[in-house]
């Protein structure tokens, strides 16, 4: 068994333990393998071990990696998620190459993704990024503005609104981390209960990484994002 395969097993065991502690089923929580800065060969190893959903932060790096992986004859079709900030000059790359975009935080980006999504592709699956911390330098729509952005996304035919995503700052205690995650979950629940048309597939709470996975699962996360726990320590020298 490769190191990546064994680490994947460990992460799934961690998810299972977190679910058991809060009375959830492990099948309720999917794993997104965050492969940013790691080469296509690392993605291949994870894919051959059964992982099929991958998250990338750096859009140009991701586009090159997606092409390299798709050229590998032994790798099945994978699902690619953009989980990094999306600037206006990068929306076309996201629209053309990704299956999901987790970081839509304003009307302009949603509109550009819709307009640039190629006709031959399925609708881009979208999560609204919410900034529950309120930091001025952090990405994400304010919680009180999330429903309005949801309306915008739902009106765009080449986008499919799937849920809410957040990256809260670390907290000093597990209880404090749980409380922050619950604030994100409350935004998700509020949109889901809003009665807006088009929410039939609104099912994704993209919340939690390696350090805060247990608190995120307890708060209701349906998709956790784990990178170094699968691929090892990162080197950012070339980024």
Q: What are the residue ranges spanned by the domains of the chain?
A: 3-231
The mean pLDDT of the chain is 95
Confidence label for 2 from pLDDT (cuts 50, 70 and 90) = confident
- Is 3-231 a domain of CATH 3.20.20.10? yes
Which two tokens mark 164? 């809410």
pLDDT number for residue 215: 97
pLDDT of 169-215, one tens digit each? 999 999 999 999 999 999 999 999 999 999 999 999 999 999 999 99
What backbone torsions phi and psi does residue 58 show, to the nearest 5 degrees? -100, 115
pLDDT number for residue 239: 37
pLDDT of 63-101, one tens digit each? 999 999 999 999 999 999 999 999 999 999 999 999 999
Length of the chain: 239
% of the chain at pLDDT higher than 70: 96
């Amino acid at each position: 068994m490769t190191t990546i395969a064994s680490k994947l097993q460990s992460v799934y065991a961690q998810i299972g333990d977190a679910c058991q502690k809060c009375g959830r089923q492990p099948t309720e929580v999917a794993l997104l393998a965050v492969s940013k800065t790691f080469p296509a060969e690392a993605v291949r190893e994870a894919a051959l071990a059964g992982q099929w959903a991958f998250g990338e932060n750096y859009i140009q790096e991701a586009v090159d990696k997606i092409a390299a992986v798709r050229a590998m004859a032994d790798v099945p079709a994978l699902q690619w998620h953009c989980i990094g900030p999306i600037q206006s000059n990068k929306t076309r790359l996201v629209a053309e190459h990704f299956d999901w975009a987790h970081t839509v935080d304003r009307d302009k980006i949603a509109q550009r993704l819709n307009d640039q999504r190629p006709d031959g592709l399925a609708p881009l699956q979208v999560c609204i990024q919410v900034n529950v911390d309120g930091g001025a330098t952090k990405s994400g729509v304010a919680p009180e503005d999330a429903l309005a952005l949801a309306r915008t996304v739902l009106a765009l035919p080449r986008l499919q609104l799937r849920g809410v995503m957040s990256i809260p700052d670390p907290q000093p205690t597990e209880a404090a981390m749980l409380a922050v995650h619950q604030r994100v979950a409350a935004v998700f629940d509020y949109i889901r209960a809003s009665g807006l048309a088009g929410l039939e597939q609104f099912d994704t709470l993209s919340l939690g990484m390696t350090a805060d996975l247990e608190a995120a699962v307890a708060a209701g996360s349906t998709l956790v994002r784990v990178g170094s726990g699968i691929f090892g320590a990162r080197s950012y020298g070339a980024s």
